Amino acid sequence: MKKTCIFQDTEKTQNTTDLLEVSERMYGRGQFESHAVLLADSFDPLMGSFHHIIRVAKGLVDCYDPRGICDILENLHKKNRFDSILIPGTSLGEMIAPRLAKRLRTGLVAGVTDIKKEGGHIEIIRPAFSGKILEGVLHTGNGPVMMSIRPNAFEYTPGDPLQTVVSAYTEPVSSPSAVTRLHVKENQQTCDIRDSEVLIAGGGGVKESFPELYRLADALKGRVAASRKLVDQGIAPRSIQVGQSGKTVSPRLYMALGIHGSMQHMAGLRHIESLISVNTAANAPICSLSDIVVHGDAGKFIDRLMKKIAVYRS
Amino acid sequence: MDKNDIIENLGKILTPSQVNTDSEDLYDASADRYKKYAKVRRVLDVPVPAAIVYPTSADEVSHVLAFCNEYGLNVIPRAGKTATEGGLENWKDNTVVVDARHLDKILHIDTYNMQATVQAGVPLQELEDELRKQGFTTGHSPQSKPVAKFGGLVATRSIGQFSTLYGGIEDMVVGLECVFPDGHISRIKNVARRSGGPDIRHIVIGNEGSLCYITEVTVKIFRYYPENNRFYGYLVKDMETGIKALREVMVNGFRPSVARAYSEEDAAQHFYHFHKNRCVLLFMAEGPEGIVQATCQAIEAAAEKFQDGIVEQVDSQSIADWFNNLNWSQKDIDDEFEEMKEKDSHAGYTTEISADWETIPKIYNNVMKRIRQEYPRAHDLTMLGGHSSHSYINGTNMYFVYNYRILCAPEDEMRVYHHPLQRIIVEETLTLGGSMCHHHGIGKFRNEWTMEEHGTAYYMLEKLKQAFDPKGIMNFGTIYPQEEGAKYQK
Amino acid sequence: MKIICVVKIVPDVDSIVCDVENNILTGNAARMMLNPDDACALAFALGVKASDPDCFVEVVSMGPMSARPRMEDLLRLAVDRGTLISDPVFEGSDTLVTSAVLGRYIATRPFDCLLTGSHSLDGGTAHVPVQLAETLGLDQMLGIIRIDPHRFDSTRAVFEVEDDKTVTTYEMAMPGVLSVTRQSGYKLPYVTLSDMRRDVSDELAIITNQDLCFSETDVGPAGSRTKVVNRYPQTYEKKDRHIVGNDEAGISCVFNFLKQKGFL
Ligand SMILES: Cc1cc2nc3c(=O)[nH]c(=O)nc-3n(C[C@H](O)[C@H](O)[C@H](O)COP(=O)(O)OP(=O)(O)OC[C@H]3O[C@@H](n4cnc5c(N)ncnc54)[C@H](O)[C@@H]3O)c2cc1C
Ligand SMILES: Cc1cc2nc3c(=O)[nH]c(=O)nc-3n(C[C@H](O)[C@H](O)[C@H](O)COP(=O)(O)OP(=O)(O)OC[C@H]3O[C@@H](n4cnc5c(N)ncnc54)[C@H](O)[C@@H]3O)c2cc1C
């Protein structure tokens, strides 16, 4: 029986279970024993999904102290001899995983998005070169397999509920950080389109329906961007222009409504994960780069999609 | 004479309202697009001119030039301000920029004799729009058409995107009027052809403001048949194949209006939606139906002949769409300035050369190799490629394009990047016997090679300068090398 | 104050072509550049130096000798010392080994603060700064968008870290490792033409394994615990594109896509 240790997703506790999918891909369903290590108070969402939940006692370690957390994980590994340790690729996780790997003298694969199993080998897949290529990595050496997992890359479908054993971790931390948190403020939502993960962008084809884009952007928690065509016509402000003479953006989702895709516009798009274009001309250049091309009028498209989202949300 | 005297005198020769001394405008007038990056970043190293004047007639131009000639003041003729090689850059303190802004009238459109007469400050687009209303075209379509004006277009020997059918500006100019430094006004009459001694139009066409000031131009016009336009595009395996296919069509006696071959890198930026990391070959046929049909057959036959090098044919609509979005407006130029204000990089520096069919691929390969091997900032180049876009029966041009990150002080950009790159292109071209300046003129930044460009014929060029501009007041440093200007170049 | 900037010379991702058949990146065609996050870290350090002439800035990088010209470029800025750790035996090292090598050299140098970038453009990981801190027994923080220049000295540093929802201000005792991101906007000064033309070839210190004395089995691929065995291109062309109508089916397709990718 393999043993897998999964550290809590401190940003979204319920997502911690998704990392079980990684273990399943490596070892097969029911072929491993799972341990979740939690800093948070609430472990309800994880009950029944893990064999073990190890709760770190309150006050042992600051939630922003990767060094202290490493101590705990290192100790747990010494006791349990895990075959794999999986850390969510959150900002905290990114500081914990490499440190722990160093302490355990084991290899670490970061930002994992997929697992391939071929002839007994486990090939760990991760994007490199800003997502331009995917690397297949083998873990060598004797230490546990360590990975940090790209958020949302895996989705776990729960099986039959397990009898979860909850235990507490109480050993004092020997080497905490000399870091203090002075204060935390809300991240002022700047209006900069470069900071947005979702951009709903309009061009010459949405001259009339441009205000509608804001509705869709709100629904998808994104911002509105524009091609120069709309900026020239005074319909959109220059600050939201994407392109060679506008801003360079790298959202996860770029929705191009009525944008032709001139080379100067495309010069502003870098490493877009998903591109959806809506265009009355299905052969507009931008369509060639799109994951989905909706062939038709952009105004009507927004209407229909908004209805669908409204139904889903209610 | 100091600047104040100059300004005062110009105000008397013209009216004070025709004399502009606004500091922002003078800064703008001190350089052109060769130093556009330094200009945007406000770190130009050249002096500002004393004034910009706006004459309204050939007579006024004559008075201004005579005055400048008498006092040895440098004159920079100016039209649409799209010059790219330093033709508008100022190297003298006492400089008067003579701008064609008020020479802005279309004087005559004669559809029976198929010619149109305009003043030097008329934007090409304006005449083109007028002609289109009547079913005609100038046949001249440089990418700068919306902005460039006739004075500049003639003075630079410009060429348009449909040149393979219509020719360059030199094939279009019928007659013209120009003013010499001593104030003399010459009119070259409009006739279909003549054998009246050397064709003196060619002293004016391409003089880049270094011999005389152009005030009026008459050009041929052509019937316009947009309904017959046909487009072809192919992905080809290498530049050599592309150029061979161009040659095939040309030497068989056909004149497509557009015939172009793009390198992989250049194609990737223009045709990202279909290039597949290949070179792109494209054609456009236009004109009367029968001619278009015959031209299309010739294009198809050439594609057939070189099918081994052709990867696939491209949807012709893509090519048509692309063409319709190619020209630059003033807005585009302004936008490019905005971009350079913020970003430490720039797209769209170019050097255009020409040679015969045999030599062009060699120059292309030599340039690519030399830049990659010996240019010290090669790693800052984000794009390096080229295209052939104007073909003739005996050869073609090569338009080298390069983009780079600018990792040096803005005032050094030209010295660190643009000029060393241009130097390599020019040197390789001249070594193999090509011309270093296919259509942007020599300006001030290729003048160090003017003698080499012309060889023993430089004698003739030199004599022209001595004859028409003995005091050397016309556009100091343009075409003709000047020791004094070296500090602004190197 | 003594600052060591640990930087990496990386291929510009835009210039990379992946040769899948041979499992190689056509690296010689790739343009090499200073990793953007690292450039911000160095820019901050040079800013400190500009206002405090006593500040000493060393730039350290581990990489192949082909990184040399880019390291020399940094010497043309106001950097006091440049060090390139380069030895054929180090080639192919994973981050674990890299941080050990860097750590061994840096341990011999005086410093009050190590500045690094957060993420590297090529690997996309933040391992080296974190593992380097672990090697040297130091604290470390990723994702720094601002360091307070008035509260930055040999005893402590105060800085801000940003995530989606918050901006948090921390104080860390020095020496420690501060890893800056591009969002900091710190920008390197321009190199002047005269500096660009300066010959700095003998100013760069080259450190090899002769200086560091690692056993050959502990470094390079032999010492590494991970191994890249395959590369798959992720190109635009590879996207399996759907063209859908602007109808119920089309809208559903978009809707499901958004849902699957977690946008809803
Ligand atoms: C130096 C320079 C810098 C530039 N910088 C930028 C820049 O930074 N950013 C930029 O965007 N542009 C820039 N441009 C301009 C660029 O070349 C294009 O002109 C511009 O991007 C076109 O915008 P568009 O695609 O929105 O409009 P259009 O070209 O008008 O395209 C409209 C598109 O919408 C489609 N459409 C029409 N009606 C509908 C409908 N009802 N529903 C759905 N689709 C419809 C059409 O099929 C077409 O594809 C620059 C140009 C230059 C020369
Ligand atoms: C975006 C862009 C695209 C371009 N595309 C092309 C192209 O496709 N083909 C091409 O050939 N060029 C092209 N050019 C270059 C440029 O547009 C041409 O050289 C054009 O002919 C210059 O015309 P202008 O009116 O802007 O002249 P200016 O820039 O004002 O002047 C150009 C030169 O002519 C001289 N001159 C101007 N007016 C007169 C006059 N009245 N009498 C005597 N001398 C005068 C000036 O002193 C200067 O040396 C392009 C430039 C840009 C910016």
Alpha-carbon separation of residue B250 from A219, B246, B253, B256, B304 (angstroms) = 57, 6, 5, 8, 15
Expressed in angstroms and rounded, the spacing between residue B327 Cα and the centre of ligand 2 is 14
Nearest atom (ligand 2) to Cα of B439: 11
Expressed in angstroms and rounded, the spacing between residue B141 Cα and the centre of ligand 2 is 12
Alpha-carbon separation of residue C55 from C46, C50, C60, C170, C192 (angstroms) = 9, 8, 16, 23, 22
The answer to whether B134 and B109 have CB atoms below 8 angstroms apart is: yes
pLDDT tens column, A158-216: 888 999 999 999 999 988 889 999 999 987 766 789 889 999 999 999 999 999 999 99
φ, ψ of residue C7 to 5 degrees: the values are: -130, 165
- Residues B153 and B260 both lie in one domain: no
Interface predicted TM-score (ipTM) over 0.90 = no
Lowest mean pLDDT among A5-19, B52-66, B117-131, B444-458: A5-19
User: What pLDDT does residue A118 have?
Assistant: 81
User: What's the pLDDT band for B442 if we cut at 50, 70, 90?
Assistant: very high
User: What's the pLDDT band for C12 if we cut at 50, 70, 90?
Assistant: confident
Q: What is the pLDDT averaged over residues B194-216?
A: 98
Between A232, A261, A267, which is nearest B273 by CB? A261
Beta-carbon contacts of residue A72 (< 8 Å; ≥ 6 apart): A37, A56, A60, A61, A169, A171, A173
* B475 part of a folded domain: no
Tokens 């290949």 belong to B278
pLDDT tens column, B364-380: 999 999 999 999 998 88
**B347·A244 Cβ contact <8 A:** yes
DSSP string for A42-67: --GGGTTT-SEEEEEPTTSS-TT-HH
Alpha helices (H) along B72-122: none
How far apart are alpha carbons C209 and B207 in whole angstroms? Answer: 64
Residue having the nearest C-alpha atom to atom 52 of ligand 1 = B332
- Residues B359 and B457 both lie in one domain: yes
Three-point CA angle C260, C263, C264, nearest 5°: 90
- Residues B339 and B456 both lie in one domain: yes
User: What pLDDT does residue C230 have?
Assistant: 84
* B89 part of a folded domain: yes
φ, ψ of residue C61 to 5 degrees: the values are: -140, 150
Domain end position, chosen among B101, B136, B160? B101
- Residues B206 and B126 both lie in one domain: yes
- Residues B180 and B216 both lie in one domain: yes
Q: Which residues of B touch C18 (CB under 8 A)?
A: none
**B338·A261 Cβ contact <8 A:** no
The boundaries of the domain holding residue B248 are 226-324
Burial classification of residue A177, based on how many CB atoms lie within 10 Å of its CB (0-12 exposed, 13-18 middle, 19 or more buried): buried
User: What's the pLDDT band for C80 if we cut at 50, 70, 90?
Assistant: very high
* B474 part of a folded domain: no
* B479 part of a folded domain: no
Question: Which residues of chain C from 42 to 101 reach within 8 Å of chain A, CB to CB?
Answer: 94-96, 99
The most confident of the ranges B268-277, B440-449, C238-247 is B440-449
**A245·B347 Cβ contact <8 A:** no
Lowest mean pLDDT among A119-123, A254-258, B165-169, B404-408: A119-123
Question: Which residues of chain B from 407 to 426 reach within 8 Å of chain C, CB to CB?
Answer: 407-410, 412, 415-416
Strand C140-152 versus strand C177-180 pairing type: parallel
User: What pLDDT does residue C236 have?
Assistant: 43
User: What pLDDT does residue B273 have?
Assistant: 87
Q: Residue B329 has what DSSP assignment?
A: P
- Residues B237 and B174 both lie in one domain: no
pLDDT tens column, C117-164: 998 888 777 889 999 999 999 999 999 999 999 999 999 999 999 887
Q: What is the pLDDT averaged over residues A46-72?
A: 93
Domains, chain C: 2-223 (3.40.50.620)
**Enclosing H/E stretch for A2:** strand A2-7
The one-letter code for the residue type at C23 is N
Q: Which residues of B touch C31 (CB under 8 A)?
A: 378-382
pLDDT tens column, A83-118: 999 999 998 999 999 999 999 999 999 999 899 988
Handedness of CA A214, A220, A226, A230 (dihedral sign): negative
Domain end position, chosen among B82, B101, B120? B101
Which of B119 and C232 is assigned the larger pLDDT? Answer: B119
How many CB atoms are closer than 10 A to CB C4?
Answer: 26
Between A232, A262, A285, which is nearest B331 by CB? A232
Between B270, B317, B339, which is nearest A283 by CB? B317
User: What pLDDT does residue B330 have?
Assistant: 86
Burial classification of residue B65, based on how many CB atoms lie within 10 Å of its CB (0-12 exposed, 13-18 middle, 19 or more buried): buried
CATH code where residue B37 lies: 3.30.43.10
User: What's the pLDDT band for C238 if we cut at 50, 70, 90?
Assistant: very low
DSSP string for B147-167: T-BHHHHHHTT---TTHHHH-
pLDDT at A226 over 70: yes
Mean pLDDT over each residue of chain B, to the nearest integer = 96
Domains of chain A by residue range: 2-169, 193-313
The answer to whether B434 and B353 have CB atoms below 8 angstroms apart is: yes
* B14 part of a folded domain: yes
Between B325, B336, B347, which is nearest A262 by CB? B325
Q: Is the peptide bond before C129 cis (omega within 30 degrees of 0)?
A: no
User: What pLDDT does residue C234 have?
Assistant: 61
Q: What is the CATH topology of the domain spanning A193-313?
A: Rossmann fold (3.40.50)
Give the residue on C whose Cα is nearest the Cα of A140: C225
Helix (H, G, I), strand (E, B) or coil at A254: strand
Q: What is the pLDDT averaged over residues C5-12?
A: 92
pLDDT tens column, A135-164: 899 998 888 999 999 888 888 988 889 999
Alpha-carbon separation of residue C264 from A145, A266, A306, C116, C260 (angstroms) = 33, 26, 12, 36, 8
DSSP string for A149-168: E-TTS------SPP-PEEEE
The answer to whether A65 and A176 have CB atoms below 8 angstroms apart is: yes
* B470 part of a folded domain: no
Using most ligand atoms within 8 A of CB, pick from B335, B336, B338, B346 the residue to mutate for ligand 1. B335
pLDDT at B190 over 80: yes
- Percentage of residues in chain A with pLDDT exceeding 70? 98
How far apart are alpha carbons B476 and B210 in whole angstroms? Answer: 7
Expressed in angstroms and rounded, the spacing between residue A223 Cα and the centre of ligand 1 is 19
What is the reported pTM?
0.87
Long-range contacts at B451-459 (CB < 8 A, ≥ 24 apart): B451/B481
The one-letter code for the residue type at C156 is R
Interface contact B381, partner C, CB < 8 A: yes
CATH code where residue B281 lies: 3.30.70.3450
Q: Residue C28 has what DSSP assignment?
A: T
The answer to whether A225 and A235 have CB atoms below 8 angstroms apart is: no
* B57 part of a folded domain: yes
Domain end position, chosen among B101, B119, B148? B101
- Nearest-CA distance from B318 to chain A in Å? 8
Q: What is the pLDDT averaged over residues C200-204?
A: 90
Strand C56-62 versus strand C2-7 pairing type: parallel
Burial classification of residue A238, based on how many CB atoms lie within 10 Å of its CB (0-12 exposed, 13-18 middle, 19 or more buried): middle
Q: Is B218 in the pocket of ligand 2 (CB under 6 A)?
A: no
- Residues B219 and B272 both lie in one domain: no
- Residues B38 and B67 both lie in one domain: yes
Q: What is the pLDDT averaged over residues C15-25?
A: 54
- Residues B424 and B378 both lie in one domain: yes
Residues within 6 Å of ligand 1 by CB: A 203-205, 227-229, 241-246, 258-260, 262, 264-265, 268, 278-281, 284, 297-298; B 328, 332, 335-336
- Nearest-CA distance from A291 to chain B in Å? 14
Q: Which residues of B touch A256 (CB under 8 A)?
A: none
Helices then strands, counting H and E runs in chain C, come out as: 8, 15
The answer to whether B478 and B444 have CB atoms below 8 angstroms apart is: yes
User: What pLDDT does residue B402 have?
Assistant: 94
Q: What is the pLDDT averaged over residues A112-138?
A: 85
Mean pLDDT over each residue of chain C, to the nearest integer = 89
Tokens 């397990």 belong to A162
**A263·B318 Cβ contact <8 A:** no
Q: Is B84 in the pocket of ligand 2 (CB under 6 A)?
A: yes
User: What's the pLDDT band for A56 if we cut at 50, 70, 90?
Assistant: very high
User: What pLDDT does residue A281 have?
Assistant: 92
Q: Is B475 in the pocket of ligand 2 (CB under 6 A)?
A: yes
The answer to whether B382 and B345 have CB atoms below 8 angstroms apart is: yes
User: What pLDDT does residue A192 have?
Assistant: 84
User: What's the pLDDT band for C19 if we cut at 50, 70, 90?
Assistant: low
Tokens 């230490």 belong to A143
pLDDT at C235 over 60: no
CATH number (3.40.50.620, 3.40.50.1110, 3.30.70.260, 3.30.9.10) of A2-169 reads 3.40.50.620
pLDDT at B432 over 70: yes
> How many domains in chain B?
4
Strand C156-162 versus strand C24-25 pairing type: unpaired
- Residues B128 and B190 both lie in one domain: yes
How far apart are alpha carbons A311 and A45 in whole angstroms? Answer: 27
How far apart are alpha carbons A186 and A2 in whole angstroms? Answer: 42
How far apart are alpha carbons C126 and A97 in whole angstroms? Answer: 10
Expressed in angstroms and rounded, the spacing between residue A146 Cα and the centre of ligand 2 is 63
Q: Which residues of C touch A138 (CB under 8 A)?
A: 226-227, 229
Name all chains with 3 or more CB-CB pairs below 8 Å to chain B: A, C
Residue having the nearest C-alpha atom to atom 53 of ligand 1 = B332
Helix (H, G, I), strand (E, B) or coil at B472: coil
CATH code where residue B142 lies: 3.30.465.10
- Residues B260 and B352 both lie in one domain: no
The answer to whether B63 and B129 have CB atoms below 8 angstroms apart is: no
Q: Which residues of C touch B407 (CB under 8 A)?
A: 73, 190-191
DSSP string for B368-398: HHHHHHH-TTGGGEEEEEEEE--EETTEEEE
Question: Which residues of chain A from 176 to 235 reach within 8 Å of chain B, CB to CB?
Answer: 228, 232
Burial classification of residue B52, based on how many CB atoms lie within 10 Å of its CB (0-12 exposed, 13-18 middle, 19 or more buried): buried
Helix (H, G, I), strand (E, B) or coil at B177: strand
pLDDT tens column, B336-365: 888 888 888 876 789 999 999 999 999 999
Expressed in angstroms and rounded, the spacing between residue B122 Cα and the centre of ligand 2 is 13
Strand B51-53 versus strand B74-78 pairing type: unpaired
Helix (H, G, I), strand (E, B) or coil at C10: strand
Mean pLDDT over each residue of chain A, to the nearest integer = 91
Expressed in angstroms and rounded, the spacing between residue B72 Cα and the centre of ligand 1 is 50
Burial classification of residue A123, based on how many CB atoms lie within 10 Å of its CB (0-12 exposed, 13-18 middle, 19 or more buried): middle
The answer to whether B147 and B154 have CB atoms below 8 angstroms apart is: no
